[in-house]
Amino acid sequence: MKIGYARVSTNDQNLSNQIALLKEAGCKEIFEEKISGAKKSRPQLERLLDKVREDDTLIVCKLDRLARSTHHLLEIVETLRERKASFYSLGEPWADTTTKELILKLREEGKSATELAKTFNVDRSTVYRL
């Protein structure tokens, strides 16, 4: 199942554009949140991560709607990997764990092969071959 996550930082901002894009992408369920991305505790994101199951795909409109740092993004991707789920960002097509293109981008950003291999549950040699 495709599950969407939409977030804006303040109550006076509107989620409608994100929701429309997520529905267009085929999301059957969308978790909505009006809270700063700087907050570590986001109840709807936590609910979503508790709900996600094998073969589900978490979809966001842009990475900054989900995570404020590469470290936080990797934590979320690791949670998804542990549940045998995947991740896709509509605004950053390279951020797609269904094709491992995310590994290439994170490698370019300086992440180690060992760290990436652990995060994506592949052998280090796989990371080097990409």
Q: For residues 55 and 65, what is the distance between their CA atoms, to the nearest angstrom?
A: 22
Element containing residue 21 per DSSP (H, E): helix 16-24
Given the residues 9, 16, 69, 86, the one annotated as active site: 9
9 labelled catalytic: yes
Q: For residues 96 and 17, what is the distance between their CA atoms, to the nearest angstrom?
A: 21
Phi-psi region of 84 (alpha: psi -120 to 50; beta: other; left: phi over 0): left
Catalytic residue IDs: 9
